């Protein structure tokens, strides 16, 4: 817990020093997620948020150029050594930037968090998804995920930025055919972060909500409610980039903990 407190303090102070404004997004929301694979938890008259993404994008669209939040998030059906129904997320947004501009910010965050607990700061390599697949990315998601889980993900043990996912896996990223401007961060064998050049087209976002809903219906799941507010805000977004980082996993990576329950207070 002392290590965790030192890491979280270092994250906050780094972002404050860089001119980011810390916000307190609501945990109770009407529209919980875009991604079809996320299971939101119902609470009161809405849902517990799966991330602060939609609220922070509203803030960026309203004119705040650098924002972040460190908050609890909730996702159903996620239990294991690296997953929890409740977990802590750092999410940040940076205007006049694209996904590659996130790298410098995040590496400084990890460096200062490392120093806070007396650990040597890691040096990250960069590799594209195409390079990881040996130049030939599978054309369908089933083959992609099978090879990713069986061969690629277990080999990502070094500090690594993975860049340029297939366009069909854009989530809320801008697409630059044939790839999405998306990156993921790996440290200590753990996937720590997922970031994008943020989509700035509200109607395209509406289409992605519709596709996500259709995917959920196809597998017998209830579709997520559409968040009309974030669709409207997306059409007003300036050029910006954002990333979500799992705070618990960062603490695990920097302390050598093997189970997420070892870095959180118990229920």
pLDDT band at 79 (very low <50, low <70, confident <90, very high): confident
Q: Structure tokens of 213?
A: 């809903």
Topology classification of domain 2-263? BirA Bifunctional Protein; domain 2 (3.30.930)
Q: Where are the alpha helices (DSSP H) in 18-140?
A: 53-61, 101-116, 129-132
Could you identify the residue written with the tokens 């809405």?
A: 46
pLDDT tens sequence across 166-209: 999 999 999 999 999 999 999 999 999 999 999 999 999 999 99
The answer, yes or no, to whether residue 264 has pLDDT greater than 90, is yes
The answer, yes or no, to whether residue 78 has pLDDT greater than 90, is no
pLDDT of residue 77: 86
Quickly count: other Cβ atoms within 10 Å of residue 33's Cβ.
Answer: 22
**pTM of the predicted model, to two decimals?**
0.96
Helix pair 101-116, 2-17: axis angle to 10 deg: 140
The percent of residues above 70 in pLDDT, for the chain, comes to 100
125 Cβ contact list (under 8 Å, min separation 6) = 158, 159, 160, 161
Task: Give dist(CA 249, CA 73) in Å, integer.
Answer: 14
Quickly count: other Cβ atoms within 10 Å of residue 262's Cβ.
Answer: 13
Task: Give dist(CA 178, CA 129) in Å, integer.
Answer: 12
Average pLDDT, the chain: 96
The answer, yes or no, to whether residue 99 has pLDDT greater than 90, is yes
Task: Give dist(CA 177, CA 169) in Å, integer.
Answer: 12
Helices and strands per DSSP (H, E), number in the chain: 8, 12
Burial of 220 (0-12, 13-18, 19+ CB in 10 A): exposed
The answer, yes or no, to whether residue 123 has pLDDT greater than 90, is yes
């Amino acid at each position: 817990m002392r290590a965790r407190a030192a890491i979280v303090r270092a994250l906050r102070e780094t972002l404050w020093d860089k001119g980011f404004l810390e916000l307190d997004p609501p945990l109770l929301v009407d529209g919980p997620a875009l991604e079809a694979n996320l299971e939101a938890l119902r609470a009161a008259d809405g849902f517990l948020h799966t991330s602060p993404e939609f609220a922070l994008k509203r803030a960026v669209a309203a004119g705040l150029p650098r924002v972040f939040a460190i908050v609890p998030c909730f996702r159903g059906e996620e239990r294991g050594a690296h997953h929890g129904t409740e977990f802590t997320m750092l999410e940040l947004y940076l205007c006049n930037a694209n996904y590659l501009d996130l790298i410098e910010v995040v590496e400084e965050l990890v460096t200062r968090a490392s120093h806070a607990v007396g650990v040597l700061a890691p040096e990250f390599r960069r590799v594209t998804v195409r390079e990881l697949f040996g130049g030939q990315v599978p054309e369908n998601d089933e083959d992609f995920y099978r090879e990713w889980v069986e061969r690629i993900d277990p080999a990502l043990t070094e500090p690594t930025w993975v860049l340029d996912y297939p366009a069909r896996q854009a989530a809320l990223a801008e697409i630059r055919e044939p790839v999405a401007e998306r990156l993921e961060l790996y440290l200590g064998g753990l996937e720590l972060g997922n970031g994008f050049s943020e989509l700035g087209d509200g109607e395209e976002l509406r289409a992605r909500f519709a596709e996500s809903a259709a995917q959920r219906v196809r597998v017998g799941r209830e579709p997520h409610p559409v968040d009309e507010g974030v669709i409207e805000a997306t059409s007003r977004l300036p050029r910006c980039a954002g990333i979500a980082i799992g705070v618990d996993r960062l603490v695990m990576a920097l302390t050598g903990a093997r189970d997420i329950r070892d870095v959180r207070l118990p229920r």
